[in-house]
Structure 1
């Protein structure tokens, strides 16, 4: 087979190029597809907890059939026609390691994950949209939060070399499989590392992953993410590999919640965004490589959508002004952060709106902190903010177990298997609507 290198996206100085022509990635993440996220999909629990609940209620075989259907019907040709229409040129594809690694037999890879990835990659190729493969969950968890499917609230991935070795081998396996596919632009090694305390471990992991990938694949870009949910790059040494680039995520309202209020003057909000963004973009001086903002976005509310579009516009303007590629989080979900979402009357929304009456995902961190404080003050002494922050993640994993047992399972048990099996249809394009305001804004940048 002849490999046409001119079709691969490549790193060239501080730019991405295809056949010598500069390209800026402008696109979306396909969040909550191959790695369920509770607040986006509307079901409490981590990816594994949710799937185990389905298996306990309906049986392993039916649970597998349900999620197979979900994965193959979540997006289709009409979604890609829409993406193409608004000028999107890239799609970040998150996936859970469990589609490839059996925890009981970590050295024998499963290949079911390729069936699902191939489904999307084939559509990317057909519509000439670049795919970026994002390992969103690794054994033990790369950060303490639910979106890496941790059941401990601890980033154990960075504590055990054996866990890292399994992922190093997995990336070699994936690279060998996709080495000749030019419509895959890059490999995003691990999503949002956090609470990494050992710089040697961090750098050694990236070095070993790159070495393993390059045994099979010399051409695909490799994205490196920083610590503290990929906002802190102080630990990461520059890497010599010519096809390495760097990725950060931009959620400035985490530290400054007031920017999400209409009362704040827009000029002041832009100033806060600019200061936060410039700190992240400063890593270009350190690495002399192109940058990608692999995630930015917010939870959309119908009553505030016009105001919220100004927030998205202010963030995207910073990316464009600083020559930074970007991906909005996310493309489709159960009416949370997605530009596309099922209509209110669809069965999926009916189920999740019912669950919302007793489970509010946005209060999880607040409740976790309150429970840690209660425990400390009742049985020990009050603890510091520094101690409370990591402990609330561990408390939230306990809360998630309870929510699955007391909320998710009972709501599933109220529905027949036939009703449940039809749920994925709610994500079909003709069952969905989209934020036209966001679509129009994106066209401003893609000039579709």
Structure 2
């Protein structure tokens, strides 16, 4: 029997999220990233989702294309997945969405009902297991940030330059709010994932606008508002909006292949603490709730001879981060639930049809370091080093790291344009070629590789999350 729905929506009360009885609720969960918003490192394609889909349509034709992606969306998250997440003691699932499920660029004034059917299925499956959901808009027309996961196909965030884009997404949020108004299993709305506004003023203006528009049709649901510059910077925020939770993303470089290994020194622990405290300074100053909407290491694959040692270090890192969050009793959502082996709580089996088919391509993509997330540049650093040095020699020193986000430095911007955009876009056709000539039955088997029963569970990670969810010691 499905649990009874909460009698009212969650709301903000001081520094807490509370239920209808005023009891504090700490949301702990994961994101269904890679499902209703596909990402390159999660499912194996290069570059941007819309470019990959265009290449797949060209290779498969409309009938097979629709069949494959319909099956992928069906199998990736089912009632079994919701049940598994609930069994770990989690209580909230973040649903990242590509706006293209709702808006066709050639007819942007019409909201596609298919988008609601897709998200409803996840919300309902989670509700049946007593799981709250947070609806997260992960992509925006023109791109709300400069990263691949905004699915803009470019390296600039043009959303901030075009009122038409802003109008489209405000209108979409109004329709979403109308649709989920009164649904008490929906914990709230995350209007924009990882904004990156170079001027640091447009984001707050849009937040005020979209908050007002949503409240006119749905006065009850919480809004979860990310900080600027990929949910890490609140220094330009001037005010607190009502019934809003403010969100950070708290990735640690120790959890990535190119970062310093985490061995738990006092200096490393202090760095983690200071990084977190810097991000939440705004929330603590204004006495509002904190939500860490994304965090988590990537893990070494089965081909890595130091896999066990590497992954244990990253489990230890995760445990330390959770200990920090526990002290402040904040809500969190780890990134991510399911993928092909980088970060997922579960991942596709190496023996699955999908991985067996794409193995040569995945190995090539890894060697080339096309994905920003979790890459190791040992095979290609010598190629890009002269390009980076050329830029540094020719650009005056005072300008070399002026381009926003400055934290990327010139190296990050070069990689974004050359590898993650141009190189990866062209490689989409090679990825799609692996599907050429596949029958409907074969396409079904490939999509079914993402069914929970066909996936491997990352027990070390899941045990840590369960212990934290149950309030147990992490060490």
The answer, yes or no, to whether TM exceeds 0.5 is: yes
**Rounded Cα–Cα distance in structure 1 between residues aligned with 2:393 and 2:439:** 47
Inter-CA distance 378–323: structure 2 relative to 1 (3 Å threshold): closer
SS class of match (1:358): helix
Residue matched to 2:406: none
Query: Is the 8 Å Cα contact of residues 70 and 424 (structure 1) preserved in structure 2?
Result: yes
Residue matched to 2:60: 58
CA contact (8 A) 2:370 2:424 kept: no
Quote the residue 2:177 is aligned against: 175
Most deviating of 249-258 and 98-107:
249-258
Q: 1:333-364 deviations in whole A, cap 9, x for unaligned?
A: 11111011121111122134221221127455
| Closer, same or farther: CA 187–363 of 1 in aligned 2, 3 Å | same
Match of 1:250 in 2: 250
The aligned residue for residue 444 of structure 1 is: 467
Structure 1 residues 284 and 68, CA gap change in structure 2 (3 angstroms): same
Shift of 1:382: 4.8
Other-structure match for 2:273: 274
Q: Distance in 2 between matches of 1:130 and 1:329?
A: 17
SS in 2 for 1:23: coil
Q: Trace 1:198-209 onto structure 2 (pairs within 5 A).
A: 198-209=199-210
SS in 2 for 1:204: helix
Aligned to 1:435: 458
CA-CA distance at 1:23 after TM superposition? 0.6
Q: Deviations over 1:146-186 (max 9, x none)?
A: 11112111111111111111100100010001101110101
**2:318 equivalent in structure 1:** 312
Cα drift, residue 238 of structure 1: 1.5
CA distance in 2 between counterparts of 1:5 and 1:299 reads 35
- Structure 2 unaligned segments of length 5 or more: list them: 301-306, 404-409
The alignment status of 1:400 with 2:424, answered yes or no, reads yes
Q: Cα–Cα, structure 1 residues 273 and 362, in superposed 2: closer, same or farther, change >3 Å? A: farther
- Give how far 1:294 is off: 0.3
Give the match for residue 238 of structure 1.
239
* Residues 1:440 and 1:332: Cα distance change in structure 2 (over 3 Å): same
1:4-15 equivalences in 2 (<5 Å):
6-15=7-16
- The alignment partner of 2:95 has SS state of strand
Per the alignment, residue 394 of structure 2 pairs with 381
Moved more, 182-191 or 295-304: 295-304
RMSD: 2.5
Contact 2:15 2:287 in 1 (8 A): yes
User: Is the contact between residue 238 and residue 286 of structure 1 (CA under 8 Å) also seen in structure 2?
Assistant: no
Per the alignment, residue 149 of structure 1 pairs with 151
| CA distance in structure 2 between the partners assigned to 1:82 and 1:9 by the alignment | 24
Per the TM alignment, residue 376 of structure 1 is displaced from its structure 2 partner at its CA by 8.1
Contact 1:91 1:132 in 2 (8 A): yes
Mapped partners of 1:55, 1:161: distance in 2: 31
The residue correspondences of 1:301-380 to structure 2 (distance < 5 A) are 301=300, 302-303=307-308, 304-360=310-366, 362=369, 364=371, 374=387, 377=390
Which residue in the other structure is 1:228 paired with? 229
Q: Give structure 1 stretches of 5+ with no counterpart.
A: none
Relative distance call for 1:394 and 1:13 in structure 2 (3 A) is same
Give the equivalent residue in structure 2 for 1:23: 25
Q: What is the distance in 1 between the residues matched to 2:226 and 2:118?
A: 24
SS at match of 2:435: helix
**SS of the residue 1:137 aligns to:** coil
SS at match of 2:173: helix
Deviation at 1:415, TM superposition (A): 4.4
Question: Does the residue aligned with 1:93 lie in a helix, a strand or coil?
Answer: strand
Give the 3-state SS of the residue equivalent to 1:413 in structure 2.
Answer: coil
The alpha-carbon deviation at position 440 of structure 1 amounts to 1.5
* Deviation by residue 1:203-243 (Cα, 9 ceiling, x = unmatched): 221111011101110100001111111100122221342x1
8 Å contact kept, 2:59–2:433: no
Structure 1 residue 49: Cα displacement: 1.2
Structure 1 position 292 matched with structure 2 position 294: no
Q: 1:413 aligns with which of 416, 436, 440?
A: 436
User: 1:45: which partner in 2?
Assistant: 47
Whole-Å Cα distance in 1 between the matches of residues 382 and 255 of structure 2? Answer: 16
Q: Out of 61-70 and 220-229, give the one that drifted further.
A: 61-70
Q: Following the alignment from structure 1 to structure 2, what is the Cα–Cα distance between the partners of residues 78 and 409?
A: 29
Aligned-partner SS, 1:357: helix
